[in-house]
Amino acid sequence: MGLKDTKLLFYLDYDARCSLADLSKKLNLSKQNINYKIKKLEEQGIIEKYVAVVDIHKLGFLTYRAYLRLGKVTNEDLRNIERYLTANQSVLWLVSISGTWDYELVFVAKNYIEFDRQLSTIKEHLQEKLVKYNLSMSIVNLHYKKDYLIDNKRDLKNIAYYGYEPKEDDTDILDKNILLELSENCRRSNQEIGKKLEISHHTVKARIQLLEKRGIIQSYRSKIHIQKLGYKHMKAALYLYPHTEKEEKELATFLSSFPNVTYVVKILGEWGLEIEAEVKNEDDFSNILRIVRNKYPLLINDYYTFQVTRELKLNYFPNGRKLLESSPTKH
């Protein structure tokens, strides 16, 4: 893949609604050439989807994480399990992983009671196939650009995220319909969305701008199959000694300074932080962790690593249809 294609991926990764005209200026290529390259990346399965990063916490929800370990299962069992979990409207993120666990899921729920019901349903479905699981709550999930693609200097301003204390949802049905459209394909134009929802594109534009201003829409990202680019998606769970909020913030900032680090997640659970990086090999990731641990020996107690082998689902508004169906009136 050429440099122009790599740069195109970089720009689409964090601003998937970027217009062909703007991409043309950034890359010094014609709009026709840009459009051709995008179609090619889609056909090759490198770009799988375009999603709006919705801060679901600002809609009154919390996010919970579950790691699942399965027992004796066949390949057909795994396919069925993955289809079942992918179709679950409470699942924001689903990945297969290697190591201690087989799958990691991020759930969206109003509270721990609702999360318990969601988990119980899955446990009933898996039955004896589920050997063990580990649960935690996501306090905040910070998203970073794939700066490593073009050796870009990391800018820590305007970081996309979801998390923190939930806020009361004051969005209306039209807002939710627009969020649903953008969560399914955020490269849909205002005209396309307006036509489907039977409103003007001016109204769509104004509503999106307001959702962005309120921080409900954080950014627009491309779901990129990084393994096809020759990268590995690595994760580490960091166990921390008792510490101050200032020390934790300093650690998170240092973790995010590495261009290959794409996510830093604060966890309420067995461990304190998770770090995710996209690297050429496991040694590169081990080197990052070694540097971090040597810099903060009094803060990092221990860690263990695992590899994300496949990203099966990413939808920051997975319960959108359910919310619309339960609304008393519809647009």
Specify whether the CB–CB gap between 41 and 9 falls below 8 A.
yes
What's the rounded Cα separation, in Å, for the pair 166 and 162?
Answer: 10
Q: What is the pLDDT of residue 324?
A: 92
Read off the amino acid at residue 137: M
Mean pLDDT, rounded, for 277-303: 97
Question: Dihedral of the CA atoms 310, 282, 50, 111 (nearest 10)?
Answer: 70
Q: What is the pLDDT of residue 207?
A: 98
Report pLDDT digits (tens) over 73-86.
999 999 999 999 99
Q: What is the pLDDT of residue 327?
A: 74
Could you please state the CATH topology (level 3) that the domain comprising 1-44 is classified under.
Arc Repressor Mutant, subunit A (1.10.10)
Q: Residue 67's beta-bridge partner residues? A: 104, 134
Task: Enter the tokens of residue 304.
Answer: 């263990």
Q: Is the confidence at residue 99, as pLDDT, over 90? A: no
Q: Give 187-247 as a DSSP string.
A: TS-HHHHHHHHTS-HHHHHHHHHHHHHTTSEEEEEEEE-GGGGT-EEEEEEEEE-S--HHH
Decide: helix, strand or coil at residue 157: coil
Report pLDDT digits (tens) over 236-268.
999 999 999 999 999 999 999 999 999 999 999
Q: What is the pLDDT of residue 331?
A: 46
Contacts with 215 (C-beta within 8 Å, 6 or more apart), sequence order: 55, 58
Report pLDDT digits (tens) over 136-165.
999 999 999 999 999 999 988 889 999 999
**Crossing angle of the two packed helices 75-87 and 112-126, in degrees rounded to 10:** 150
Cα-to-chain-centroid distance, residue 47: 15
Q: Is the confidence at residue 69, as pLDDT, over 50? A: yes
pTM for the whole thing? 0.94
User: pLDDT grade, residue 326 (50/70/90)?
Assistant: confident
Decide: helix, strand or coil at residue 41: helix
Cα-to-chain-centroid distance, residue 53: 7
Mean pLDDT, rounded, for 113-124: 97
Q: Residue 313 phi/psi, 5° resolution?
A: -155, 140
Q: Is the confidence at residue 329, as pLDDT, over 70? A: no
Q: Give 71-132 as a DSSP string.
A: -S--HHHHHHHHHHHHH-TTEEEEEEEESS-SEEEEEEESSHHHHHHHHHHHHHHHGGGEEE
Instruction: Report the chain's mean pLDDT, rounded to a whole number.
Output: 96
